[in-house]
């Protein structure tokens, strides 16, 4: 499971603009690459659990921001 989450976080940092920005921000803060990837993994898990718990689909909020 940990390996799948790591692969998902690597893929997310390459394809999703929000995760890419988050990953680069963590690197600029001086975090090692694996720590930044772990932060992305935790963010993916948090989203998955919140969607499961609330029972509603994920809505990308940035598209509604002014």
- pLDDT tens track for 3-51: 999 999 999 999 998 999 999 999 999 999 999 999 999 999 999 999 9
Distance CA 62, CA 25 (A): 17
Distance CA 17, CA 34 (A): 19
Residues spanned by the domain of 30: 2-64
pTM: 0.81
The answer to whether the CB of 13 falls within 8 A of the CB of 23 is: yes
How confident is the model at residue 31, as a pLDDT?
96
How confident is the model at residue 65, as a pLDDT?
54
How confident is the model at residue 1, as a pLDDT?
87
Q: How many folded domains does the chain comprise?
A: 1
Structure tokens at 16: 């999703």
Distance CA 60, CA 26 (A): 21
Task: Using pLDDT thresholds of 50, 70 and 90, give the confidence band for residue 57.
Answer: confident
């Amino acid at each position: 499971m940990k390996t799948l989450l790591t692969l998902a976080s690597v893929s997310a940092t390459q394809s999703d603009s929000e995760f890419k920005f988050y990953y680069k921000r963590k690197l600029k803060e001086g975090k090692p690459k694996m720590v930044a990837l772990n932060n992305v993994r935790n963010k993916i898990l948090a989203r998955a659990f919140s969607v499961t718990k609330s029972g509603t689909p994920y809505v990308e909020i940035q598209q509604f921001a002014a």
